[in-house]
Structure 1
Amino acid sequence: MELAEFKPTGIWRNGHIQSVLASLKVRRRLVERRAAALEAATNEEIVDCGNDVRLSCLHAPQPDKDAPVAVLIHGWEGSARSLYMLAAAARLFDAGFDVWRLQFRDHGNSHHLNRELFHSCRLDEVVGCVAAIQHIVDNRPLCLGGFSLGGNFSLRVAARADQAGIDLAQVVAICPVLHPPSTLTAIESGLWIYNSYFMYKWRRSLRIKHRFFPDHYDIEAILAQRSMRDLTDHLVTRYGEFPDMQTYLDGYSIVGDRLMTITAPAVMVMAEDDPVIPFAHLDSVKPSPALEIFTTRYGGHCGFLDSLYGRSWADDFLLHRFSGATGRVAAPVAKSHVA
C-alpha cells in the first residue's frame, strides 16, 4: 500500500492555518498522550560534540539493541518537546526506532551548557553530535530528519557526512530554510503572528542566556534592538565572528551548489503554500544526484494536517522513508510531485 498523496480539504488548504494550528496548545494533550511510550523511555544525554561543546539530546532507546536509529532536529526556537518533534518521534519510536532528539545549543533547557550564543552557522557542533551518536549506537543504521531550520541543518550535515565519517541511511528535511535573507523578509513582512512569535521566544531565550552568563552579555543593548533584522545584526556582529549580517545569512544558505556533496539518500519536502520559506527559491537549489526534491501543493510550514487532532502527513512520510532505508518494515514509495 502506497503512502497517500497529501490532499487536505476546506480550511486545511490555507497555508497560514496549517502553520499556526500545527503548534496550537490545544493539540498538546493529545500529542503527549500518543507520545506516552516515547516519553516514558526517554532520558537526557549530554553529548560531547568536540571543541568543548556539549549539546543536549533526548534519547528513547529500544529494548532491541539492533534497532535502527532516528535522529531528529527541531526548528529555530523550538525544542525536543515541540509538538511536531514529539509527534514525529513518537511515530518512529512506536515503529521500533531508537530515537534521538537533538537540541541546538540554547534551546530547550540547555542554555547553561555553552557560553557562546547559538547561531545558524554552528554546523560543526551538530556534525560532531551526529557523529558521536553514531559511535554511541555502534554504527547501527542511522536516519536523520529535521524540520525548518533543523531540516536545513540535516541537509548540511548530509553534505558534510563523507568528510566527517558519518554513514547516513536516509535524510529527510521537512520545509528546510533555503535562502535565509528571504525567510527573514517573509517573517518580518508576513502575517504579524510569525514575527511576534519568534521575537517573543528569542528574547525570552536571550534573557535566560544572560542569567547564566551575566558578565558576557549586555542584555540591555540586546533587548534595545526592536526588529528581528536589527537583533540579528547586533548579535552576529558583536558576539559572532561575522563582519556583517549578510555574511552570516549567506553562511547557512543551501541554494546554489551547497548540497552537491550529498551522497546519502536524501529528500527535501517543500509545500508551495509555506508562508515562511519562499517556494520560489527552490529553483535555485542544485541538488546532488542523491537528493530528491518532493513538493506538495498544501501543507504550510511544517503543518501537513487534515484536521486539528489528526496526525501530520509529514510523520507518515518520515516513517516510510526511514523504514524503507533500514528495512524495518515494508515502506512503499510515496506519490508526489517530484522535481
Structure 2
Amino acid sequence: MNDFAPNGLLKNPHAQSILASTRLRKIRSYPRSRAMLNASKTVVLDCGNGQQLMGEHAAHDVRSKGLITLIHGWEGSSQSTYLLSAGGILFAAGYDVFRLNLRDHGPSHHLNRELFNSARLDEVIGAVKAIHQTYPQQWQFLAGFSLGGNFALRIAAEAANAGLKLDQTVAICPVVDPAKTMIALEQGWWVYEKYFVRKWQKSLRKKINLYPELGYQDSLFKLKTLRDMNSYFIPNHTAFSDADAYFQAYSIADDRLTTLNSPAHIIAAQDDPIILAEDFARLAENQHLSIETKRYGGHCGFVKNYQLDSWLDERLLELINLRRYPTGDPAKTQQG
C-alpha cells in the first residue's frame, strides 16, 4: 500500500498522537465501526487462578475469515477510539473481533481485588487462551497498541510454552523499555504526563471505592506526578521492591523476544514522543520479527488526512490479509 505521507499540521507528532484518540475521530469513524458495535457482546473470561478479564466479542452470522484479538494501551479500553476504528475496519473486512480490556481498564474494576500492573502477563495469556477456546477459528491474530503492543509481543514470545496458536501478531508503537518511556513522559510535553496522571488517578478512585481495604485512600490525593505514583504503588501494591525491577519485568528489550516462533510485525514512528525510535534497535534479532518504522505518525497516530482517516487501520488489515492470503488472491488460498 502507499507509504504514510501526511501533510501540513499532520506532520506534527503531537497532533498525530492527540488526534488518534479524540472524540471527533470517534464520531467520524462511527459509521465504519457501527456493524461491529451492533454485533458486540460483553464477555467475562476465566483466565485461571481465580482471575477474570472482560472484553467484547463481535462475530459474523456467517463463517468469518478468522478472529483478531485487540489490546488497548495503558488507561485505554475496548471503547478507545483507536480500537473502535481498527476493529470496525477489520470486522467490515470479514474478521471476527475481540476487544480485550486489561485488568482495571474499561468497566472491569470489580472483577479482581488486586490492582493492575504491567507485569501481570499470565492473566492476559489466560484471557487469550480462553478467547481461542471459546471462539475457535483456524486463523487467530493478535494486535496491540502501545502498552497493549508490549503485551501482545510478550504473549507471542510465550505462545509456544502456553499452548497458544498465533498466526500473526502486530504491535503498534509498543513500549520497549518502560524506564525510558517513563522518562519521556516526565521530561516531554507536560500534556502527556498530566493526561496519564489524571486517567490513572480516576481508575484508582474507582478501585478504592470497590475495595476500600486496599488502603491507599489518603495517599492517592498526595501523589501529583507519575514518579510519585510509581514510588508509592510499586513497592506497596506489586511484587516488586522498586521501579527499576518493575520496569525490567515487562521490558521487551534485549533477549525478551528471542522465543518468538510465529510472525510478529511492529509498526512504529521515528517522531513518537513517548516510545523512542532508538529503542527498537535493542530488540533481539529474530527471523519471525519485522519492524516497520515511519518518519511521521506520533504515538499510535498515523492519521492520514483532515477527514481523520487512518492509514494504520488500512495497514493493519493489509498485514493480516497478507498472512491470511499469501498469494494475494483469496480465491487461490485454501479457505479456513
**After TM superposition, is the score higher than 0.5?**
yes
Question: What is aligned with 1:55?
Answer: 53
**What amino acid sits opposite 2:75 in the alignment?**
E
CA contact (8 A) 1:18 1:300 kept: yes
Match of 1:42 among 34, 40, 43: 40
Equivalent of 1:167 in 155, 160, 165: 165
The question of whether the paired residues in 2 share the 8 Å contact of 1:27 and 1:308 is answered with no
1:196-275 aligned within 5 A: 196-275=194-273
Contact 1:143 1:169 in 2 (8 A): yes
Hey, what does 1:303 align to over in structure 2?
301
Amino acid aligned to 2:50: D
Q: How big is the shift at 1:235?
A: 0.9
Change (3 A) 1:137 1:246: same
Secondary structure of 2:48's counterpart equals coil
The secondary structure found in structure 1 opposite 2:232 is helix
- Once residues 296 and 232 of structure 1 are traced to their aligned partners in structure 2, the CA distance between those partners, rounded to angstroms, is 32
Amino acid at match of 2:179: P
Identity %: 42
Q: Match for 2:53: what amino acid?
A: L
Question: Any idea what the Cα deviations from partners look like across 1:15-67, whole Å, max 9, x if unmatched?
Answer: 11100121122222112232111110001010101111100011001112353
SS in 1 for 2:69: strand
Consecutive unaligned residues of structure 1, counting only runs of 5 or more, are: 333-339
Equivalent residue, structure 2, for 1:336: none
Task: Give the corresponding residue for 1:88.
Answer: 86
Looking at structure 1, the residues matched to 49 and 65 of structure 2 have their Cα atoms a distance apart, in angstroms, of 30
In angstroms, what is the RMSD of aligned CA positions?
1.5
Q: Which runs of 5+ in 2 are unaligned?
A: 331-336
User: C-alpha displacement at 1:328, in angstroms?
Assistant: 9.7
Q: 2 CA distance for matches of 1:54 and 1:308? A: 40
Task: Give the secondary-structure state (helix, strand or coil) at the position aligned to 1:35.
Answer: helix
User: Does 1:156 find its partner at 2:128?
Assistant: no
- CA–CA distance in structure 1, aligned partners of residues 313 and 215 of structure 2: 39
Q: 2:62 aligns with which of 56, 64, 71?
A: 64
Alpha-carbon offset, residue 111 of structure 1: 0.3
1:25 alignment counterpart: 23
| 2:14 pairs with 1:16 | yes
Letter paired with 2:140: L
Distance in 2 (CA, whole Å) between partners of 1:36 and 1:7 is 28
**8 Å CA contact 1:66, 1:140 repeated in 2:** no
Deviation at 1:330, TM superposition (A): 3.9
Map residues 113-124 of structure 1 onto 2, 5 A cutoff: 113-124=111-122
In 2 relative to 1, CA 132–329 (structure 1 residues): closer, same or farther, beyond 3 Å?
farther
Task: State the match for 2:334 in structure 1.
Answer: none
Partners in 1 of 2:63 and 2:44 — Cα distance? Answer: 21
Report the Cα distance in structure 1 between the residues aligned to 2:253 and 2:57, rounded to whole angstroms. Answer: 32
Secondary structure, counterpart of 1:105 in structure 2: coil
Q: Is the 8 A contact 1:134 1:140 kept in 2?
A: no
Distance (whole Å) between structure 1 residues aligned to residue 327 and residue 308 of structure 2: 23
- TM-score, structure 2 length as denominator? 0.95
Q: Counterpart of 2:280 in structure 1: which amino acid?
A: L
Check 1:139–1:26 CA distance in 2 against 1; reply closer, same or farther (3 A cut): closer
Deviation at 1:331, TM superposition (A): 7.6
Alpha-carbon shift at residue 131 of structure 1 (Å): 1.0
* Residue identity matched to 1:154: A
The 8 Å contact of residues 69 and 99 in structure 2, kept in 1 or not, is answered as yes
Taking the aligned partners of 1:12 and 1:254, their CA distance within structure 2 comes to 30
Cα deviation, residue 188, structure 1: 1.0
Aligned to 2:272, what secondary structure does the other structure show?
coil
Q: If the length of structure 1 is used for normalisation, what is the TM-score?
A: 0.94
Give, in angstroms, the shift of residue 329 of structure 1: 9.7
Tell me if the contact between 1:21 and 1:308 (Cα under 8 Å) persists in the aligned partners. no
* Paired residue total: 330
The structure-2 alpha-carbon separation of the partners of 1:135 and 1:328, relative to structure 1 and needing over 3 Å to count, comes to farther
Q: Give the corresponding residue for 2:291.
A: 293
- Range that drifts further, 25-34 or 269-278: 25-34
Q: Counterpart of 1:49 in 2: which secondary structure?
A: strand
